Amino acid sequence: MLKQGILMLSLLVLVASCSNDAPNTEETTTEEMTETSVAGNKEEVKAEMVGYQVGDVVEDFTLKNVDGNMLSMADYPDAKGYVIVFTCNHCPYSIAYEDRLIEMDEKYKALGYPIIAINPNDPEVNEDDSYEKMIARAEEKGFTFPYLMDEGQKVYPKYGATKTPHVYVVNKTEKGNQVAYIGAIDDSKDAESVTEHYLTNALDALIKGEAPNPSFTKAFGCSVKCKKENKNI
């Protein structure tokens, strides 16, 4: 009975995090503009999370890339891990991080940690996140990493992503693909104002055989867009 109650509470929290409002290209609500207290303590962050947590073994996925091909983590047999980034076309935060992600992918892909970007948004809620516009955006920016469509919004709820961008570093271990870091890329939308490089520090630690510290930070950005009737949430 208690287990069922916890599951129901988790589902309600994820529903609340999923925005179904009309598209707002500015995305300037108080919640989404807040960049303070990005790094939360472990207990606070875990309480907010609904999906995978650090240490969990994740399921693989198969999603359509902007090149028209289906892609899975299994398509990277030589990778040491993966940087899963939930992002989108229209969010000012996602746009602000595109150049940084390209730079990180160019460095860390060669070290065994390729970036895999996933758009979790429902294009019926915001047409700027359509598959066609994803293709155009990837070409315009020259993405060096795959950009996948979470069609039917079946993957992001498993991870518990609530923002774009929202990062999950997955490390290959004897147990399987284990989550090693969850949260923000760094501590500022403005690249010139960054003082804490959470994602790169996490990757550098894994490359050295160490555990990321912190392994949790609070993601900030735009809320994931979905319809009220989405039964996968």
Q: What domains appear along the chain, each with residue ranges and CATH number?
A: 2-225 (3.40.30.10)
Tell me: pLDDT of 172 over 50: yes
Strands 176-183, 166-173: pairing kind? antiparallel
**Is the confidence at residue 44, as pLDDT, over 50?**
no
H helices within 18-91, ranges in order?
A: 30-33, 42-48
Strands 176-183 and 147-149: unpaired
Q: Which one is predicted more confidently, 138 or 232? A: 138
Question: Cβ distance 169 to 219 under 8 Å?
Answer: no
Give the pLDDT score at 229.
57
pTM summary value: 0.84
The H-or-E segment that residue 83 falls in is strand 81-86
Dist. CA 207–CA 219, nearest whole Å: 23
Q: Does residue 77 have a cis bond before it (omega within 30 degrees)?
A: no
* pLDDT tens per residue, range 123-151: 999 999 999 999 999 999 999 999 999 99
Half-sphere exposure of 219 (CA within 13 A, CB side): 28
Q: Is residue 53 within 8 Å of 46, Cβ to Cβ?
A: yes
